[in-house]
Amino acid sequence: MSPSETSNPTPPIVVAVGLGPAGPELLGPDARDAIAGAARCLVRTARHPAVAVVSELSAAPVDFLDRLYERADRLEEVYTDIVEEVVAAAQTVAADPNESGAPDAYVAYVVPGSPLVAERTVELLRADGRVRLEVRPALSFLDLAWSRLGVDPLDAGVRLVDGHRFAVQAAGERGPLLVAQCDTRAVLSAIKLAVDDPAAADPAGAGSAARDSGRRAVVLHHLGLPDEHVVEVPWSELDRTLEPDHLTSVWLPRLGAPVAAELARLDELVRTLRERCPWDREQTHGSLARHLLEEAYEALDAVDAVARAGPEPAPAAVAHLEEELGDLLFQVYFQALLAAEEGHFTLADVARTLHDKLVSRHPHVFADAVAETPEEVAARWEVLKKAEKGRASVTDGIPAALPALALVAKLQRKAEALGLSAGSLEEHRRHIENGLDRLLGEAPGAAPDASGETLEAPEESVRLVGDLLFSLADVARRLGVDPESALRTAAADFRGRLAANE
Whether 122 and 3 have beta carbons less than 8 Å apart is answered as no
Residue 354 has pLDDT above 70, yes or no: yes
Taking Cα atoms as reference points, which of 82, 78, 86, 61 lies closest to residue 11?
A: 86
Mean pLDDT of the chain: 81
Least confident of 19-28, 53-62, 299-308, 444-453: 444-453
Taking Cα atoms as reference points, which of 262, 369, 261, 245 lies closest to residue 326?
A: 262
Q: How many residues does the chain have?
A: 502
Whether 238 and 293 have beta carbons less than 8 Å apart is answered as no
Residue 436 has pLDDT above 60, yes or no: yes
Residue 55 has pLDDT above 70, yes or no: yes
Mean pLDDT of all residues in 316-341: 94
Task: Please give, one letter per residue, the 3-state secondary structure of 94-114.
Answer: HHCHHHHCCCCCEEEEEECEC
Q: What pLDDT, in 10s, does the model give residues 75-89? A: 788 888 999 999 999
Whether 446 and 497 have beta carbons less than 8 Å apart is answered as no
CATH node for 144-204+212-257:
3.30.950.10
Q: Do domains 144-204+212-257 and 261-360 have the same CATH topology?
A: no
Residue 94 has pLDDT above 60, yes or no: yes
Q: What pLDDT, in 10s, does the model give residues 201-242? A: 333 333 333 344 446 899 999 998 889 999 999 988 898 889
pLDDT range class, residue 259, cuts 50, 70, 90: low
pLDDT range class, residue 41, cuts 50, 70, 90: very high
pLDDT score at 7: 46
Kindly list the domain boundaries of the chain, sorted by start residue. 3-139, 144-204+212-257, 261-360, 421-444+457-501
- Residues ≥6 apart with Cβ < 8 Å to 184: 244
**What is d(CA 63, CA 72) in angstroms, rounded to the nearest whole number?**
18
Can you spell out the DSSP letters for 333-395?
A: HHHHHHHHHTTS--HHHHHHHHHHHHHHT-HHHHSS----SHHHHHHHHHHHHHHHHT-SSTT
Q: Which fold has domain 261-360?
A: Helix Hairpins (1.10.287)
Higher pLDDT, 446 or 45: 45
Mean pLDDT of all residues in 7-18: 81
Q: What pLDDT, in 10s, does the model give residues 152-201? A: 998 888 999 989 888 878 876 777 999 998 989 999 988 888 775 444 33
pLDDT score at 390: 64
Taking Cα atoms as reference points, which of 410, 382, 417, 393 lies closest to residue 470?
A: 410
Least confident of 190-204, 283-297, 343-357: 190-204
Class of domain 3-139: alpha beta
Helix (H, G, I), strand (E, B) or coil at 64: strand
pLDDT range class, residue 325, cuts 50, 70, 90: very high
Angle at alpha carbon of residue 43, lines to 38 and 48, rounded to 5°:
125
The most confident of 47-61, 244-258, 433-447, by mean pLDDT: 47-61
Residue 258 has pLDDT above 60, yes or no: no
